[in-house]
Chains A and B, each alone.
Chain A
Amino acid sequence: MSMIKSIFILLLCQLAGEALRAVTHIKVPGPVIGMVLLVAFYILRRREPPPALQRASDGLLSWLGLLFVPAGVGIVANLELLRSAWLPISIALIGSTFLTLVTTAWIMHRFGPRASMQNEGL
Chain B
Amino acid sequence: MNWTTLPHTLSPGIVPLFAIVLTLGAYLFGVEVQKRIPNPLANPVLIAIVIIGITLRLLHLSYQDYFTGAQFIYFLLGPATVALAIPMVRALEHMRRGFWPMISALLAGSLIGLISGYAIVRLLGGSQAVALSMAPKSLTTPIAIAVSASIGGIPSLSAVLAIIGGVLVAISIDPVLRWLKIDEPSAKGLAAGTAGSGLGASRVIPQHTLSAAFAGVAIGANGILTAVLAPILAPLLKHW
Contact = CB atoms under 8 A, between A and B. Distances in A.
The SS class assigned to the A binding surface is: helix
Interface in A106-122: 106-115, 119-122
B230 to A, nearest CB: 10
Contacts of A79: 160
Size range of the interface on B? 35 or more
Given A69-B27, A96-B113, A31 B78 contact: yes
B14 interface: no
Nearest to B20: A70
From A27, A68, A74, name the one whose CB has the most chain B CB atoms within 10 angstroms: A68
Contacts of B130: 84-85, 88-89
A111 B161 CA distance: 31
Interface string A62-96: 10111111111111111101101101110111111
A110 B208 CA distance: 19
B215 to A, nearest CB: 9
Nearest to B123: A88
Given A75-B160, A111-B104, A113-B94, A61 B223 contact: no
Contact of A65 (B106, B190, B203): B203
Contacts of A103: 105, 108-109, 112
Contacts of A3: none
A59 B133 CA distance: 34
Interface of A: 7, 10-11, 13-14, 17, 27-32, 34-39, 42-43, 48-49, 53-54, 56-58, 60-62, 64-79, 81-82, 84-85, 87-89, 91-115, 119-122
16 contacts: A17-B82, A43-B92, A61-B80, A66-B48, A68-B45, A70-B73, A72-B48, A73-B56, A75-B159, A78-B160, A91-B120, A93-B137, A103-B109, A103-B112, A107-B108, A121-B209
